[in-house]
């Protein structure tokens, strides 16, 4: 069946050769079965004569008859494959040498090495998935928590696309009414009831805006809830980052001003992905590089969802008060959660049960979370992690709407909403349909760019170019 839009047959390993037990080499295109049949010899009928969705056992030999590997070949026929084309997947032993030999033999038989993301791009072009779904493939592969997997899966299975389709259909309805008016513009007819139009537009704008505003949450789900670790120099911020992630990631030293740049690490706690950001200590500095580090810290502080203010509890109460007030003045109490951590409790209260101590602290002051910890000895960190997880408990994923995790989608929604705002105000000002129709078309184009209905080739190139080879 000649289904594919492409004439050439592409090949690439879909797994990383040299790791694991097997490597899978993908082959897709009109000649996939013929090329695979050329290099894989099976006992009974050839690969080319195999039925769809079958698995065959065979041997791959070089031109001189020497054997390369024993393999399993999965056969898929158009349009029932990932790419929508005839495809085969060769499972060989994971040696990178074996994989490169097989790839060479495939190319000698007429295949060419696939470009990054080319399999998924073909799936998109052949109508197996839309662009948002294709992008979700990469998100599913890189998902690292139950929430990020759930959102990516919803997008992959078309949940987000269906929601967009509904919005587009409502707008198309309005657009077609307006176009009709345009055709009859000489006769001065008004097909679209302006009050109804205004209400419809309002509903759609609200829907799009709420999708766009889910990006903050979506971004946290995909890249981790941003947690900034801030405070004075030498309070133990870098030690805390290292203890939390269980690795010596940031440099710890008693020389003040050691951390000059921000260091980020992600970690999953109770299925929630957090992104911890160690920052340069906030202080006046003469050092140019440290000053750049401090301004970056302030930026990270403003972007964080959770701020961990680390204090050195051996410092005086006045000193710490000043530091806290400084941090409080820099955060947004509505959008950001502050936790105050009195570090180095091992020095001020040796041999104390830190859990008991903290239970007393939190019960007396429930508004701001305060904890005594020892970043160095790991005291109080369990409680800290518990609080971090608790802070996310209201973040529900079971809403009716999709959650936007992709910046490209966020931007498109934003632009669509502004174009519709223009339509809305034009309606209010009683402007002619030709002016309304233009902005409406623009909004539709932005929405369409998310699912790839109207996406220029160069944008597609950028999106798929970020995929790895074999995807
Ligand atoms: N005793 C004790 N020392 C700590 C603790 N946390 C950090 N330190 C020490 O404090 C110094 C500064 O730590 P560092 O993490 O580099 O501080 P930063 O400037 O805030 O990043 C180092 O000598 C650490 O070993 C702690 O909980 N207890
Ligand atoms: Mg540091």
Q: Residue 120's pLDDT band (boundaries 50, 70, 90)? A: very high
Find, among 183, 205, 207, 180, the residue nearest to 192 by Cα: 180
Q: Which ligand is nearest to the CA of 234?
A: 1
- Atom 12, ligand 1: residue with shortest CA distance: 234
- Atom 16, ligand 1: residue with shortest CA distance: 252
Find, among 435, 368, 441, 471, the residue nearest to 172 by Cα: 441
Position 2 scores a pLDDT of 45
Position 256 scores a pLDDT of 74
Position 365 scores a pLDDT of 52
CA distances to 24, 38, 127, 321 from 121, in Å: 19, 26, 10, 56
Judge if the beta carbon of residue 233 lies within 6 A of ligand 1: yes
In this structure, of 161-170, 203-212, 285-294, the range with the lowest mean pLDDT score is 285-294
- Atom 19, ligand 1: residue with shortest CA distance: 234
190 pLDDT above the threshold of 70? no
Ligand 1 centroid – CA 235 distance (Å): 6
Tokens linked to 23: 């490597």
CB 174 within 8 A of CB 201: yes
What secondary structure, in 3-state letters, does 365-433 show? CCCCEEEECECCCCECHHHHHHHHHHHCCCCCCCCCCCCCCCHHHHHHHHHHHHHHHHHHHHHHCCCCH
For the CA of 278, the nearest atom of ligand 1:
21
Ion ligand 2 nearby residues (CB, 5 A): 237-238, 259
252 pLDDT above the threshold of 60? yes
- Dihedral of alpha carbons 447, 452, 457, 460, sign: positive
For the CA of 347, the nearest atom of ligand 1:
1
Q: Residue 191's pLDDT band (boundaries 50, 70, 90)? A: low
Which has more confidence, 285 or 329? 329
Ligand 1 centroid – CA 410 distance (Å): 40
Q: Residue 1's pLDDT band (boundaries 50, 70, 90)? A: very low
Judge if the beta carbon of residue 281 lies within 6 A of ligand 1: yes
Judge if the beta carbon of residue 234 lies within 6 A of ligand 1: yes
Ligand 1 centroid – CA 200 distance (Å): 59
CB 290 within 8 A of CB 257: yes
How far apart, in whole angstroms, are the C-alpha atoms of residue 272 and residue 243? 18
For the CA of 237, the nearest atom of ligand 1:
20
Q: What is the mean pLDDT of residues 196-224?
A: 91
Share of the chain above pLDDT 70, in %: 94
Ligand 1 centroid – CA 253 distance (Å): 7
Q: What is the mean pLDDT of residues 217-231?
A: 91
pLDDT tens per residue, range 344-375: 999 988 888 888 888 877 655 556 789 999 99
Judge if the beta carbon of residue 253 lies within 6 A of ligand 1: yes
Tokens linked to 249: 């990631």
Site to probe by mutation for ligand 1, drawn from 228, 242, 249, 252 as the one with most ligand atoms within 8 Å of Cβ, is 252
Please tell me the pTM assigned to this model.
Answer: 0.78
Ligand 1 centroid – CA 367 distance (Å): 27
Q: Which ligand is nearest to the CA of 346?
A: 1
Position 117 scores a pLDDT of 95
Ligand 1 centroid – CA 255 distance (Å): 10
**DSSP designation for 225:** E
pLDDT tens per residue, range 18-48: 889 999 999 999 999 999 999 999 998 899 9
Q: Residue 211's pLDDT band (boundaries 50, 70, 90)? A: very high
Judge if the beta carbon of residue 252 lies within 6 A of ligand 1: yes
Secondary structure of residue 119 in the 3-state scheme: helix
430 pLDDT above the threshold of 90? no
Position 65 scores a pLDDT of 93
- List of domains in the chain: 10-129 (3.30.1360.120), 136-214+402-452 (1.20.120.430), 223-391 (3.40.50.300)
Ligand 1 centroid – CA 26 distance (Å): 51
Ligand 1 centroid – CA 311 distance (Å): 10
């Amino acid at each position: 069946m000649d289904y594919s839009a492409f004439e050439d047959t592409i090949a690439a390993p879909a797994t990383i050769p040299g790791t694991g037990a097997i490597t899978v080499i993908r082959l897709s295109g009109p000649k996939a079965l013929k090329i695979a049949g050329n290099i894989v010899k099976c006992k009974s009928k050839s690969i080319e004569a195999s039925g769809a969705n079958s698995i065959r056992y065979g041997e791959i030999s070089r031109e001189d008859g020497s054997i390369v590997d024993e393999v399993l070949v999965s056969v898929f026929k158009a349009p029932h494959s990932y790419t929508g084309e005839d495809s085969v997947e060769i499972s060989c032993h994971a040696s990178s040498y074996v994989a490169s030999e097989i790839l060479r033999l495939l190319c000698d038989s007429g295949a060419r090495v696939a470009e990054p993301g080319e399999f998924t791009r073909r799936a998109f072009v052949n109508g197996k998935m839309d662009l948002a779904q294709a992008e979700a493939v990469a998100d599913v592969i890189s998902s690292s928590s139950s929430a990020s997997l759930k959102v990516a899966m919803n997008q992959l299975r078309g949940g987000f696309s269906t929601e967009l389709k509904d919005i587009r259909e409502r707008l198309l309805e309005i657009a077609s009414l307006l176009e009709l008016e345009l055709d009859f513009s000489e006769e001065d007819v008004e097909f679209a009831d302006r009050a109804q139009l205004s209400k419809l537009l309002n509903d759609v704008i609200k829907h799009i805006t709420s999708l766009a505003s889910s990006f903050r949450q979506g971004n946290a789900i995909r890249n981790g809830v941003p947690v900034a670790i801030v405070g004075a120099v030498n309070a133990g911020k870098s030690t805390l980052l290292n203890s939390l992630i269980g690795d010596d990631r940031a440099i710890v030293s008693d020389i003040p001003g050691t951390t000059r740049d921000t260091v980020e690490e992600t970690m999953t706690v109770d299925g929630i992905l957090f992104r911890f950001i160690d920052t340069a200590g906030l202080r006046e500095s003469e050092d140019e590089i440290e000053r750049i580090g401090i301004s970056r810290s302030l930026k990270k502080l403003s972007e964080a969802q959770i701020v961990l203010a680390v204090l050195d509890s051996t410092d005086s109460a006045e000193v710490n008060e000043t530091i806290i007030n400084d941090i409080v003045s820099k955060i947004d109490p509505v959008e950001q959660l502050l936790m105050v951590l009195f570090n180095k409790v091992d020095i001020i209260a040796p041999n104390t049960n830190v859990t008991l101590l903290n239970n007393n602290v939190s019960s007396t002051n429930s508004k701001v979370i305060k904890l005594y910890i020892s970043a160095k000895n790991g005291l109080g960190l369990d409680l800290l992690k518990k609080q971090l997880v608790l802070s996310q408990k209201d973040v529900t994923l079971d809403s009716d709407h999709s959650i936007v995790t992709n910046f490209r989608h966020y931007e498109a929604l934003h632009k669509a909403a502004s174009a519709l705002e223009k339509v809305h105000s034009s309606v209010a000002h009683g402007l002619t349909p030709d002016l309304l129709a233009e902005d409406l078309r623009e909004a539709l184009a932005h929405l369409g760019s998310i699912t790839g209905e109207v996406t220029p080739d160069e944008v597609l190139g950028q999106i798929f170019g970020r995929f790895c080879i074999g995807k």
